[in-house]
């Protein structure tokens, strides 16, 4: 499991998220966290263990108690990774991923499929029938091809 997935799993639980919110406001010990959240100290301990393993929280011994704090740099890395992910998905490739794939039909026969159906990676580029697409639209969706991949295909069942 990648460290980023570990962090996301740690953040996905409501109590752990609430712990982070409390610790972002102030460093607190386990007892104070348990009281503020209305859960047992053992539960807080388990949640803090997961947050520490994910690299989001650290503890510092102060006398008899351990006070916990958020590793803000680690939290900023999570934010940066999510922002990078959204930028990457916004700049997807211009070609359909499902172009020229093979799959088995319900009868067990292998069927060659192309894109530009309701599953198209670029549904905003769909403009009616394949023969109605302009060369620019075809290039944007399918790359450098001579004609639309679905042009001239017969509909199944007809």
The residue ranges of every structural domain in the chain are 3-89, 95-158
Q: Which regions of 47-153 does DSSP assign to beta strands (E)?
A: 57-62, 65-70, 101-104, 110-113
**Residue 94's pLDDT is what?**
46
Assess whether pLDDT exceeds 60 at residue 6. Answer: yes
135 pLDDT tier (thresholds 50, 70, 90): confident
SS (H, E, C) 33-67: HHHHHCCCHHHHHHHHHHHHHCCCEEEEEECCEEE
Q: Compute the distance between CA of residue 26 and CA of residue 70 in angstroms, rounded to an integer.
A: 9
**Residue 54's pLDDT is what?**
94
Are 120 and 128 within 8 A, CB to CB?
A: no
Q: Higher confidence at residue 2 or residue 105?
A: 2
**Residue 139's pLDDT is what?**
72
Averaged over 5-22, what is the pLDDT? 94
**Residue 55's pLDDT is what?**
94
Mean of pLDDT over the chain:
78
The third-level CATH classification (topology) of the domain covering 3-89 is Arc Repressor Mutant, subunit A (1.10.10)
Averaged over 33-43, what is the pLDDT? 96
Hey, which residues does 69 pair with through a beta bridge?
58
Alpha carbon distance, N-terminus to C-terminus of the chain: 48
Assess whether pLDDT exceeds 50 at residue 118. Answer: no
Assess whether pLDDT exceeds 70 at residue 152. Answer: no
Averaged over 104-130, what is the pLDDT? 58
């Amino acid at each position: 499991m990648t460290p980023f997935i570990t962090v996301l799993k740690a953040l996905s639980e409501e109590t752990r998220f609430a712990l982070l919110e409390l610790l972002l406001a102030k460093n607190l010990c386990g007892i104070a966290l348990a009281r503020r959240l209305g859960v047992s100290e053992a539960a807080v301990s388990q949640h803090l263990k997961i947050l520490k393993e994910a690299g989001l929280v650290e503890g510092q011994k102060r006398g008899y108690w351990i006070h916990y704090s958020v590793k803000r740099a680690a939290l900023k890395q999570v934010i940066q990774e999510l922002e990078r992910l959204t930028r990457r998905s916004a700049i997807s490739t211009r070609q359909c991923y499902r172009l020229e794939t093979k799959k088995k039909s319900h009868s067990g026969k292998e069927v060659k499929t192309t894109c530009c159906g309701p599953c198209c990676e670029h549904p905003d580029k769909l403009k009616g029938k394949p023969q109605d697409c302009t060369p620019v639209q075809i290039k944007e969706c399918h790359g450098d091809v001579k004609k639309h991949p679905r042009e001239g295909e017969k509909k199944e069942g007809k």
